[in-house]
């Protein structure tokens, strides 16, 4: 069964359609825009940012606790 033919675009629309990508748009940008919707990309970005900030804070707390435990506990253990 043949497919119905698509209607032709009016000339005013044809002049605004370009097959050339914008100069500042990379192939990755074009591919990610096709694969992941903008709202999902925004949510992923917010979540990633939160995880990075939280991880940094938790890492700093672990460093402080570990260093404090070594500075206080090691001399006590060696005496």
Q: Give 22-69 as a DSSP string.
A: PTT--HHHHHHHHHS-HHHHHHHHHHHHHHHHHHHHHHHHHHHHHHHH
19 located within any domain? no
30 located within any domain? yes
2 located within any domain? no
One pLDDT digit (tens) per residue for the chain, 79 residues: 555 666 665 665 555 556 666 677 888 888 877 887 888 888 989 999 999 999 999 999 999 999 999 999 988 888 8
1 located within any domain? no
Supply the range of the domain harboring residue 32.
26-78
47 located within any domain? yes
Give the chain's domain count: 1
pTM over 0.85: no
């Amino acid at each position: 069964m043949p497919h119905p033919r698509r209607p032709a675009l009016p000339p005013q629309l044809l002049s605004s359609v370009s097959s050339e990508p914008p100069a500042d748009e990379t192939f990755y940008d074009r591919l990610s825009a096709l694969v992941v919707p903008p709202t999902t990309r925004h949510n992923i970005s917010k979540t990633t940012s939160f995880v990075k900030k939280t991880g940094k804070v938790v890492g700093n707390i672990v460093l402080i606790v570990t260093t404090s435990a070594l500075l206080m506990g090691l001399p006590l253990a060696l005496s």
